[in-house]
């Protein structure tokens, strides 16, 4: 199995290969030479450069490596080429099984406007919007839909190429910027318009489908905590949904997946407003947040992907009843005190949590170079509990145990969010991060150097086994203060 990705998802796929007795072949850019997925794989091959076009988006190089390694299949992970129909077809032509939907399904899902039309025809509710729209039709279409509205990249995903337009006067400039971002990120400058729902929740449904035509909904996840349309915290079951709304949403997800002939592991995303919901898009790949679904269902989603890609049927007989509650926090190299700007540098040290109900999907190793070339996600901390309250308590404990030296991370934001009354009451919406921004103005605070030095001393002590100069209680207090201040 060629694992055509990097970071924690490459590690996750390599582990699944080991479980199934498959040899895993890794690829790496020069910056990732010492990365965790490289050392874990059975063999590893270098890519020509660091920039994505020369490395993890380099279809020709990936196919050549797969052939040289005598791989039978390619797992694209998520991001990069995971939803790229051109790559899926290239794998097929090379005699490689592509672990994901067939290329024609990827082509449909890769056109967000076209997908809207398909699922709407199947009776799935969609927001007022357009198909792909030309510049000369923007003003008329915006007037028909009404502002505020969103401009979205038709061939995009991952929260990129999306712009909120609050007034018609902002429309043309926002469209120009969105087209430029879409072209740069996806090589496709097409856009479409969609009405914006302020104060809504973002809820998605995990689906599993095989080539026999069977489609199952494996439960839903709340992903409302996000910044710049990219998720920070995910949980399942989605709190606050009544049984009827949940049932209708799961049924709509199955209908939408069938309407596009979906095969494999995928996600149907919705916006939820009071007791109504509207289709957003289909993510035709494994999601970053798939571990929360695995923890409450007991289903290994990567193993299911591999089974279906090999021509088999899903091993799941019926839609599972979720057991307990699971939460995931994405630990990214971003500075929440500076508007979640990327933080680059070298990982000096790391302490990862453990204990009952804690899972860590991570690719952090000392010496890892964090660059601006790739997504800043470093690790995911996932906790499970018999109730949401227990899962939250375990997550707080896990994040208080975790520390990363060398770059700023999102840990301070997560600790704040878990203690917020609105989040505890499950009353949060997609506007939740604005509460952090209002209560945490950008910039550092006094005492940074002392706190950071104490935190790093604590990390060094844990790694070497030598006691710190300060009493352990004081050291723990300093480390906690460092996390709350966003220190490295």
Residue positions annotated with a catalytic role: 285
CB 277 within 8 A of CB 271: yes
Q: Cα–Cα distance between 5 and 56 in angstroms, integer?
A: 6
What residue has token string 């929740």?
A: 201
Q: Cα–Cα distance between 18 and 269 in angstroms, integer?
A: 31
Q: Cα–Cα distance between 225 and 235 in angstroms, integer?
A: 10
- 386: DSSP letter: S
Q: Cα–Cα distance between 88 and 3 in angstroms, integer?
A: 14
For 136, residues 6+ apart whose C-beta sits below 8 A from its C-beta are: none
* Helix, strand, coil shares, percent, the chain, to 5: 40, 25, 40
Q: Cα–Cα distance between 191 and 130 in angstroms, integer?
A: 9
Both tokens of 17, joined, read 């290969």
Both tokens of 290, joined, read 């798939």
Print burial letters for 343-362: b (CB count within 10 Å at least 16), e (below 16). Answer: beeebbbbebbeeebbbbbb
Which helix or strand (DSSP H or E) is residue 206 part of?
A: strand 201-209
Task: Residue 112: count other Cβ atoms within 10 Å of its Cβ.
Answer: 25
What residue has token string 């399942």?
A: 236
Q: Cα–Cα distance between 349 and 370 in angstroms, integer?
A: 13
List, in sequence order, every residue forming a beta bridge with 126; answer none if it has no partner. Answer: 279
Both tokens of 203, joined, read 């809820």
CB 145 within 8 A of CB 138: no
| Among the listed residues 225, 283, 272, the one whose alpha carbon sits nearest the alpha carbon of residue 108 | 283
Surface-to-core class of residue 87, CB atoms within 10 Å of its CB (0-12 exposed, 13-18 middle, 19+ buried): buried
What residue has token string 């949403």?
A: 249
Q: Cα–Cα distance between 61 and 56 in angstroms, integer?
A: 9
Q: Cα–Cα distance between 286 and 21 in angstroms, integer?
A: 21
Print burial letters for 21-31: b (CB count within 10 Å at least 16), e (below 16). Answer: ebbbbbbbbeb
For 475, residues 6+ apart whose C-beta sits below 8 A from its C-beta are: 454, 457, 458, 461, 468
């Amino acid at each position: 199995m060629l694992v055509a990705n990097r970071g924690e998802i490459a590690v996750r796929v390599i582990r699944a290969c080991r479980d199934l007795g498959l040899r895993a072949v890794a690829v790496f850019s020069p910056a990732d030479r010492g990365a965790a997925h490289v050392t874990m794989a059975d063999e590893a091959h270098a890519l020509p450069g660091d920039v994505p076009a020369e490395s993890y988006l380099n279809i020709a190089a990936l196919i050549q490596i797969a052939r040289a390694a005598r791989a039978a299949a390619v797992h694209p992970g998520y991001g990069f080429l995971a939803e790229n129909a051109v790559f899926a077809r290239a794998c097929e032509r090379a005699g490689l099984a592509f672990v994901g939907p067939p290329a024609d399904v990827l082509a449909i899902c890769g056109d967000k406007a076209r997908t809207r039309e398909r699922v709407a025809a199947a009776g799935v509710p969609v927001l007022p919007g357009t198909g792909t729209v030309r510049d000369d039709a923007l003003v008329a279409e915006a007037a028909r839909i009404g502002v505020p509205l969103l401009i979205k990249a038709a061939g995009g995903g991952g929260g990129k190429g999306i712009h909120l337009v609050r007034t018609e006067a902002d429309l043309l400039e926002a469209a120009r910027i969105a087209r430029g971002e879409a072209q740069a990120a996806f090589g496709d400058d097409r856009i479409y318009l969609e009405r914006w729902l302020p104060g809504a929740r973002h809820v998605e449904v995990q689906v599993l489908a095989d080539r026999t035509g069977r489609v199952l909904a494996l439960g839903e996840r709340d992903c409302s905590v996000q910044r710049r349309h990219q998720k920070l915290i995910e949980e399942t079951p989605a709190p606050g949904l009544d049984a009827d709304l949940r049932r209708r949403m799961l049924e709509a997800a199955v209908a939408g997946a069938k309407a596009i002939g979906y095969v494999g592991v995928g996600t149907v995303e919705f916006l939820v407003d009071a007791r109504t919901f509207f289709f957003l898009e289909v993510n035709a790949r494994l999601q970053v947040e798939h571990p929360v679904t695995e923890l409450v269902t007991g289903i290994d989603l990567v193993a299911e992907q591999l089974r279906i890609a090999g021509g088999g049927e899903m091993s799941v007989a019926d839609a599972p009843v979720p057991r307990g509650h699971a939460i995931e926090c994405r630990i990214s190299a971003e500075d929440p005190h500076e508007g979640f700007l990327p933080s680059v540098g070298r990982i000096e040290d790391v302490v990862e949590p453990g204990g009952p109900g804690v899972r860590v999907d991570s690719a952090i190793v000392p010496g890892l170079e964090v660059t601006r070339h790739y997504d800043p996600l470093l690790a995911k901390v996932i906790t499970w509990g018999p109730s949401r309250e227990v899962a939250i308590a375990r997550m707080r404990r896990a994040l208080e145990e975790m520390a990363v030296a060398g770059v700023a991370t999102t840990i301070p934001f997560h600790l704040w969010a878990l203690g917020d009354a609105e989040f505890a009451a499950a009353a949060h919406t997609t506007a939740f991060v604005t509460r952090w921004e209002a209560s945490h103005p950008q910039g550092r605070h006094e005492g940074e150097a002392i706190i950071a030095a104490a935190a790093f001393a604590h990390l060094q002590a844990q790694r070497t086994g030598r006691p710190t100069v300060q009493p352990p209680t004081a050291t723990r207090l300093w480390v906690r203060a460092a996390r709350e201040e966003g220190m490295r």
